[in-house]
Amino acid sequence: MDRKISLRNALVALAIVVLAVPAVADDMNPLLTEWTGPYGGVPAFDTMDLTHLKPALEEGMANHLTQLDAIANNPEAPTFENTILDMERSGKELDRVFSYWGIWSSNRSTPEFREIQAEMAPKLSEYGSKITQNEKLFNRVKAVYESEEMKSLRPDQQRVVWLSYNSFAHNGAELTGEAKERYAAINKRLAELHTAFSNNVLADEEGYVTYLDETQLGGLSESYIKGAAAAATEREHEGKYAVTNTRSSMDPFLTFSTERDLREKVWRTYYSRGDNGDEYDNNKLISEILALRHERVNLLGYKNYASWRLEDRMAKTPERALELMEAVWPAAIARVAEEVTDMQAVADAEGAKITIEPWDYRHYAEKVRRAKYDLDSDEVKQYLQLAKLRDAMFFVAGELFGFQFTPVKAGTVPTFHEDVEVFEVTNRNNGMHVGLWYLDAYARQGKRSGAWATTYRSHDKLDGRKNVLCSNNSNFIEGTPGEPVLISWSDAETLFHEFGHALHYLSSDVDYPTLNGGVRDYTEFQSQLLERWVLTDKVIDNYLVHYETGKPIPAELVTKIKKAATFNQGFKTTEYLASALMDMKYHTMDPTGLDPDAFEREALASLNMPKELPMRHRSPHFGHVFSGEGYSSGYYGYMWADVLTSDAAEAFKEAPGGFYDKDVAAKLVKHLFSVRNAVDPADAYRMFRGRDAKIEALMRDRGFPVPGEEGGAMSGEADARD
């Protein structure tokens, strides 16, 4: 699953603290101005004008640097109040600009925006370097960190100080002379390369579309055909059917299409994004990105990029992350061999006279599913209506978190597209307003593929309580107007997953803006955990109803779904782990003279990667890792978080009330959601579970052989501040 690496998060990775606000003038650039309107003010998405973006960024950066210079040159001795909290209050007008930037970048990209993006990315990097290399500012932060006052601060205040100090120290603040200049130059060039990489992938997603005619629709569902027709019409191919170059379109086509030659074409088109030898080819960019990252961490004294990146994560070291992945990998590829054997038997029985290839895997896995479990994914899909699943998420949020979601009347809150829905979130126990939740559910040109969550405004209590403005974004294919949108079981889990991020935002009860951040190999835990509620009886019984008859999903079909819960785990785990292992290999090697295509082939061969499936994200379109630094050498984090998820899910299973147990839910919200990054993740998990997480729960979840039950403690034993 794709996850959003927002510009703000990318800048945080460079130690940029962009958070608060000065007074504004009436004639200020509209992208900088204080948000007005209901609910504590909302972004003016309906009046976004791209001509304002560049000047808003430039003015916002300049104003923030001026504010930070004032803090750095304060003649008074450094204190928590006049240094750390003043930094927390600085730069909020620029933070508002980033909310608009994020919409243009992810939801409404255009060639005109991409030109601005390419021009501004290096300038934003320079701005970040001016902050992290502001020696006076760093010295004040360091003075607070090392002061006697630090000992008297509350734990959450100490964590704010440490996070502020570490964001400088970990990003070259103590470099001098030529090393300091080179570090900034590398960051500037990387910003250009990350932007180019991302835009190249988007160009291939937009530029390579497979058009079908009526004779090529064999096996496809009515809902898919209608969506493909609408996608073709949108692209001025009336009468055709478009398979777009995104996972949400590719995946069901490969699963159900009976046209093997077209399955191969669609498969090759999708997995060749960024790797077509044309102007949008990303291989040279990968080589330069890795070389620059390696050089940069060498300046800081680290042997490789991954050692630097993981130092303040739960895993701590590349070796610990690899230990987890390598513990699961043999079981995963062994399961693939079993799955391929089953699929080949089906193909042979049909007289297909083929050997299973990657473009056959999904198709024949579906046939095996039907044969082994008498489970038809298309039959299940008839009970998975997007609107009903949204209501199911609201139900779960009410039961666990006490949240009430109420539709906001159209026109009350500005949106950036007519399809965007907005809901007010309140505490149903006391009626208190919590925030707004935006849902942008449908695919369109200019929108990045995948699914993600983001915030426009986070909660904090620094200068009065701020309500949350957050959003979920998907790429479902919108069918005929008035008809329900049906989605797959996997898409339903993804929908709940991203909603888990939103609940994490909405649950925040921290005092300071910086504490709304997160540790990368932990932040997916809360969202992965929420996926477990899709299969709970209360969701099944009340929200999975047939889109035509309105009848609940039959009990026997539910039984089949549950029995098949570990089906195809070889494919799912192996395609993910291959990408995660490649990410770690890229960032623990010397990249001198690297040929990414050759390295990918050789590295996968050394892992005994099954030939029947690809890694989930091949290197030339691995945006998590190469379009920014949010997940670089951190893609393993999904599995690290999934160990926590499996272990936490067992806490609910063991409770008297199961997945709706009030006591366990209260502990979940208190220790794992509301604290955000105010508590070290390892400590937070121990407070919830009473111990560290264990890998055995993950192996049981996936139906893999469980190693010796006597051990398995996994989560980070050392405090992240050590």
Query: Active-site positions?
Result: 498
CA-CA distance, 720 to 697, in Å (whole number)? 24
- Cross-strand pairs, 20: 91
Phi, psi of 692 (to 5 degrees): -75, 160
Q: Are strands 433-442 and 421-427 parallel, antiparallel or unpaired?
A: antiparallel
Side-chain-side CA neighbours of residue 634 (13 Å): 28
For the chain, the straight-line distance linking the first and the last C-alpha, in angstroms and rounded, comes to: 32
Residue with tokens 């590295």: 603
Distances (CA, A) of 584 to 284, 290, 603, 609, 698: 19, 12, 11, 16, 21
Query: Cβ atoms within 10 A of the Cβ of 211, count?
Result: 15
Query: Which distant-in-sequence residues (6+ apart) come within 8 Å of 681 by Cβ?
Result: 314, 519, 522, 715, 716, 720
C-alpha closest to that of 500 among 650, 651, 386, 397: 397
AA identity, residue 542: N
Q: Which two tokens stand for residue 297?
A: 């961490």
Q: Are 641 and 522 in contact (CB under 8 A)?
A: yes
Q: Are 495 and 394 in contact (CB under 8 A)?
A: no
Please name the helix (run of DSSP H) or strand (run of DSSP E) that holds residue 470, with its range, or none: strand 468-476
Residue with tokens 């398995």: 712
DSSP 263-331: HHHHHHHHHTTT-SSSTT--HHHHHHHHHHHHHHHHHTT-SSHHHHHHTTSSS-SHHHHHHHHHHHHHH
Look at residue 382 and give its three-state secondary structure. Answer: coil
C-alpha closest to that of 170 among 196, 145, 153: 145
Residue with tokens 């906001």: 408
C-alpha closest to that of 628 among 140, 234, 102, 158: 102
Classify burial at 176, counting beta carbons within 10 Å of its beta carbon; exposed 0-12, middle 13-18, buried 19 or more: exposed
DSSP 166-232: HHHHTTTTT--HHHHHHHHHHHHHHHHHHHHHHHHHHHHHHH--EEE-GGG-TT--HHHHHHHHHHH
Distances (CA, A) of 390 to 223, 395, 413, 477, 496: 19, 9, 20, 16, 9
Q: Are 32 and 60 in contact (CB under 8 A)?
A: yes
The DSSP output letter for 423 is E
C-alpha closest to that of 71 among 3, 119, 140: 140
- Cross-strand pairs, 253: none
CA-CA distance, 627 to 647, in Å (whole number)? 32
Q: Which two tokens stand for residue 382?
A: 């008839």
Distances (CA, A) of 201 to 32, 228, 272, 279: 30, 21, 10, 11
Q: Are strands 433-442 and 468-476 parallel, antiparallel or unpaired?
A: parallel
